[in-house]
Structure 1
């Protein structure tokens, strides 16, 4: 199983928090479950983040906090590879959110940036937007968790189909 994740945040620093999360649970052939939610970060969302994501303070005011969605995140990522584009970023935020709830969160990571560099070498850029453009993957709702995670699912499926070097583990939890 693979948990393909994308988050949006209030920024990149140590005090930044999650504002949106999407998790697609995938069995290597298809999506088997999905969770998506705006998250009330309980801190101010800066204007430059709102310009990038379209997520503003009013949108998340009545949204659940991370502690209110933790069960969904835990369930969809349990016994699955944590897959994300620049996985350490998304994983770091989620791990920190669980840590704030006094819970140790650990998953094995697969980074679609690193995998793409090995499976599709020689491309000009491996950012999600440029990579999807190069591979003709349509991203709907760019810089939003659901849209970017859905594009990462399509990218991951393409990586699985083209992984002649067998870089992607397919039987770790079976």
Structure 2
């Protein structure tokens, strides 16, 4: 199984927190389960992040904290490859959130940026927006976790179809 993940955050620094998460569980053929939620980061969301994502402090005020959804995140990503566009970013944030509660979060990671560079060499840019444009994938709700995660699913499916080098570990459907 693959857990295709996207998050939005309060920024990129060490004190930044998650404001939104989407996880789509994929069996190598289709999405079989999903989880999406706004997250109360328990810190201030800067205006430039609100301009980028549309997520503001008022929107997340009554949303669950990460600790309140971590069981769902753990379950939907269990026994699955953690797949994300620029996976180090998303995985690092999620791993740090679990670490806040003294829980070790470990998943095998696949990065669609790295895979795209190998499977679709020579493109001008491997950012999610430019890559999706090159591959004719429409992104709805850009810079929102659910929109970017759905686009990453479509990208991942194209990567699976064109993976002649067998870079992507296959999974068996049970």
- Indicate the TM-score class for this superposition, using the shorter chain for normalisation: over 0.9
Equivalent residues in 2 for 1:1-174, closer than 5 Å: 1-171=1-171
Residue 22 of structure 2 aligns to a residue in which SS?
Answer: strand
Any conservation in 1 of the 2:28–2:171 contact (CA below 8 Å)? no
Structure 1 segments of 4 or more deviating over 4 A? none
Residue 125 of structure 1 aligns to a residue in which SS?
Answer: coil
Number of residues of Structure 1 aligned to a counterpart in Structure 2:
174
Gap runs ≥5 in structure 2: none
Deviation at 1:172, TM superposition (A): 8.3
Cα-to-partner distance string for 1:99-126 (whole Å, 9 max, x where unaligned)? 0011000000000000000000000000
Deviation at 1:40, TM superposition (A): 0.1
1:169 and 1:144 map into 2 onto residues whose CA distance is 28
Normalising to structure 2: TM-score of the pair? 0.98
Gap runs ≥5 in structure 1: none
2:75 and 2:152 map into 1 onto residues whose CA distance is 20
Residue 4 of structure 2 aligns to a residue in which SS?
Answer: strand
Cα-to-partner distance string for 1:3-29 (whole Å, 9 max, x where unaligned)? 000000000000000000000000000
2:54 and 2:86 map into 1 onto residues whose CA distance is 21
| Structural RMSD (CA) | 1.2
Normalising to structure 1: TM-score of the pair? 0.98
Any conservation in 2 of the 1:138–1:151 contact (CA below 8 Å)? yes
Residue 75 of structure 2 aligns to a residue in which SS?
Answer: helix
